[in-house]
Amino acid sequence: MEASCDERAIRSMNREQIAAYGETLLRFGTRRVSFAGGPPAFGEHCTKRRIMNVLNYKKPAFWVILVALLAALATTAVLLANPVSLNTAEEPTDDELEYVAVRVSGDIKTENIANPHYVPQKAVKEGLPDLNEFEPQTSATFLRFDLNDTLSLRLDPTALRDQDTVEKQFSNLLERLANGQIYIQAYMKKNANGYDNAENTEKFTNYLIINEELYQYDVNCDAIDVQTGKDYSRCAQQYVFALMNAKELHWQQFGYAQYLGGVLNPFDITQAQLAEEGIDKSKPYAQAYLEQGGSEKDLTKQDYRLLVDAMAYTCITNGMDWGTPYESAPIRSLEEFSAKAQDGDDMSVMMASSFCAYLADKYGFDKLTGFCCGNEDFKKSFGTSFSRAFERWQEAMGKQFS
């Protein structure tokens, strides 16, 4: 610090003035200090070396300054010509979105199909009775509606929350699924060109909602099949899984599907339910969410993003397994998780969604999509290690809610 101060002071001095400055330092250095243990001069422990540096000071040659200045100007020009830009995600325009208005009154068909819960089974050991004798395959009456060449919805009405407004709920659900697909496809095409898996987005989608807890998807040559249980808000997530068509599902697939299909998607079913009913203020994350200005009812996309972050923050500070499986259970403990656990699979789905949102904000949605959908290496995608990025995300959550 003293050397920097000295240089600023003597830069414009002549040799006589520099000598006088050094003499002043010498007098201060030999003076007895007024407090015990104090340094000889200005906090400097080696006054002799300081005086020698002052007396031997040489102004930089003009050509040295000129070269340094030219190098700085060249660097600035390069940076201005080729700035490091973040591919900030953009919302699709109205011209890129062709939403549909669904009217299904009087057009809903009914059909009897085999209940998927009772799949015929064989005896696991010779000599044991056929299990079908005890769990016969049953059938149920499903509502069905085909929407143009886009999707088909088959729904067990007993899976609906309100049995008095089945037709209205069916219509709303069909409209949200159809427009959610349109939005997801447009968002990926606009912000992650090359990863939108155009082949799958063009396929017909069959949705099957049953009154059980079965969640799965399948991609074949002609169509995408999505099946969910009573938590049919997962339809969009399963659809994104199908678009990704990943060989295994880890934290990045769960997080990405929840982020794109839930947080970003304005037709998300959970968002609609929260907007109508409001948040549950008894949840451990409710206070953190409300203190940051989140709406109790009529939630927007921004509110839902904040709510997901609040869930993640609660997992970080309070630990896991305090709420629903998606809120606070480790992904590796979910029934639909069957892969070998890797770093990050101890996050909950909402934690992974919050982390994916952070990565998209910091590095770009295209980078996030390349990692989650293109199976690219984490460091190659984001220029840093998983552990370092995870640490920074936790710090960001702490700053946001503390």
Residue 184 shares a structural domain with residue 321 = yes
> If we measure between CA atoms, which residue out of 230, 234, 206, 231 comes closest to residue 218?
206
For 63, 72, 80, 85, 124, the CA distances from 77, given in Å and listed in that order, are: 21, 9, 5, 15, 73
Q: What pLDDT was estimated at residue 125?
A: 43
**What is the identity of the amino acid at 344?**
G
CA gap 164, 156 in Å, rounded: 14
Classify strands 151-155 and 204-209 as parallel, antiparallel or unpaired.
parallel
Residue 201 and residue 334 in one domain:
yes
Once rounded to an integer, what is the mean pLDDT over residues 138-150? 75
**pLDDT over 70, % of the chain:** 68
Stretch (H or E) spanning 269: helix 269-277
Local confidence band at 213 (pLDDT 50, 70, 90 cut-offs)? confident
For residues 189, 191, 193 and 198, what is the CA-based torsion angle, rounded to 10 degrees?
Answer: -30
Of 182 and 9, which is predicted with more confidence?
182
Q: Are residues 204 and 315 in the same domain?
A: yes
Asked if residue 87 belongs to a domain, the reply is no
Task: Answer yes or no: is pLDDT of 309 > 90.
Answer: yes
Distance (Å) of CA 309 to CA 221, 273, 395:
38, 18, 12
> Which backbone phi and psi does 140 adopt, to 5 degrees?
-140, 155
Which of 81, 102, 133 is the last residue before a domain boundary? Answer: 81
Same domain, 152 and 61: no
Token pair 């050509």: residue: 63
Whether 179 maps to a domain, the answer reads: yes
The DSSP bridge partners found for residue 228 are 209
State how many domains the chain has.
2
Give the domain-ending residue among 65, 81, 97.
81
**Residue 163 counted as domain residue:** yes
Question: Last residue of some domain: 62, 81, 100?
Answer: 81
The residue-averaged pLDDT of 30-39 equals 49
Q: Report if residue 23 sits inside a domain.
A: yes
Least confident of 71-80, 314-323, 385-394: 71-80
pLDDT of 131 > 70? The answer is: no
- With a cut of 80, say whether residue 204 has pLDDT above it: yes
For the chain, give the mean pLDDT. Answer: 80
Q: Please give the residue range of the domain that contains residue 55.
A: 2-81
Residue 215 lies in a domain: yes
Looking at the predicted structure, is the pLDDT value of residue 7 above 60?
A: yes
Ranked by mean pLDDT, which of 130-139, 144-153, 345-354, 363-372 comes out on top? 345-354
The average pLDDT across 123-144 equals: 54
Q: What is the reported pLDDT for 303?
A: 95
pLDDT at residue 33, rounded to an integer:
46
105 or 368: which leads in pLDDT: 368
* Tokens coding 101: 């208005």
Please indicate, yes or no, if residue 371 is contained in any of the structural domains: yes
- With respect to residue 275, please indicate whether it lies within any of the assigned structural domains: yes
DSSP 335: T
Shared-domain flag, residues 198 and 274: yes
Comparing 335 with 308, the larger pLDDT belongs to 308
- Tokens for 310, please give them: 């609040």
What pLDDT shows up at residue 320? 96
234-278 pLDDT, tens digit per residue, is 999 999 999 988 888 999 999 999 999 999 999 999 999 998 899
Least confident of 313-317, 337-341, 383-387: 337-341
- The amino acid at residue 149 is D
The mean pLDDT of 27-51, rounded to a whole number, is 54
Lowest-confidence segment of 129-138, 169-178, 247-256, 364-373 by average pLDDT: 129-138
- In the chain, the percentage of residues whose pLDDT exceeds 90 is 41
pTM of the model: 0.73
User: Same domain for 215 and 334?
Assistant: yes
- Residue 225 β-bridge partners: 206, 218
Mark whether 75 and 157 lie in a shared domain: no
| Under 8 Å between Cβ of 189 and 135 | no
Same domain, 175 and 295: yes
Per residue in 173-201, pLDDT tens?
Answer: 888 999 999 999 899 888 887 665 667 88
User: Residue 40 above 50 pLDDT?
Assistant: no
On whether the CB atoms of residues 185 and 264 are closer than 8 A, the answer is: no
In a domain, 89, yes or no: no
The answer to whether residues 164 and 30 belong to one domain is no
